Amino acid sequence: MALDGYTDQTLSRQARAAELLDAETEAALARAWRDHRDTAALHRLVTAYMRLAISMAAKFRRYGAPMNDLIQEASLGLMKAAEKFDPDRGVRFSTYAVWWIKASIQDYVMRNWSMVRTGSTSGQKALFFNLRRVQAKLSREAAAAGEELDSAQLRERVANEVGVTLAEVEMMEGRLAGMDASLNAPQASDDEGREWIEVLEDDAVQAAEAVEVAHDHAALRGWLAKAMAGLNERERYIVAERRLRDEPRTLESLGAEMGLSKERIRQLEAAAYGKLRRHLEDKAHGVHDFL
């Protein structure tokens, strides 16, 4: 049901003018759509309950979304309800449709309330739509009992009431404290003011640091190459196969290839590492003495 070009007043008038269905007619229309895909029956059923969808959409206007968009989402929820409704369960369509309409509107509000995703779990959704109400209720109850709750105690009680973690309550309070602000907005009202994005710290590697890191890596590669040159051919091969391959060789496979036992390969590997370590330590000490 496309609503482009319709005004709130037009939609409301059309909804009020729609027929009121009794239980038998409602069930017959639902069966005609379910069993025979009768689009005329579907249109009649959905049109009859558009007043319900509009009424529920109006309850979410305080979140700043355009009413026409809210009604569009409510109508989508109504269509989903009609698609899944089973008239043989003995439940009125309006009772069943309320859940689908509300879920559709809530999903739309949460998707569009902020560029940052506000919540995805059922607990976060419950916090988004009920946090202020639950806080007010708990504060009234505490005052009636002669208690005075600080903010930390109130958050703990909200978490217990809604069934979420304390961290989720704190996060949602922060998200609801203010709307999104553009990083390109100026800090001052005049045209010469810096944009907020200019004061963000650049966490990328700075040029001087990048040069130092590149120099150190080059020095280490040079030291390692010289240390490897100090090994004999068999030791270099074992180190390369055991440490420099994407998939290191096992002691058993090297032993089978070289005609040596697993233990002998381990001894040669340990001796090679000892030579490499001594060479690199000598280099490190030389640098330290120079500094």
Rounded Cα gap, residues 129 and 102, in angstroms: 11
Selection from 180, 184, 206 nearest residue 194 by Cα? 184
Q: Is 180 exposed, middle or buried (0-12, 13-18, 19+ CB in 10 A)?
A: exposed
Rounded Cα gap, residues 194 and 220, in angstroms: 43
Does the model's pTM come out above 0.75?
Answer: no
Rounded Cα gap, residues 33 and 39, in angstroms: 7
Selection from 42, 41, 24 nearest residue 82 by Cα? 42
Q: What is the pLDDT of residue 3?
A: 47
Q: What is the pLDDT of residue 116?
A: 53
Residue 195: what are its φ and ψ, rounded to 5°?
-80, 155
Low-confidence residues in the chain, pLDDT < 70 = 1-15, 113-120, 175-185, 187-193, 196-197, 199, 201-202, 205, 283-291
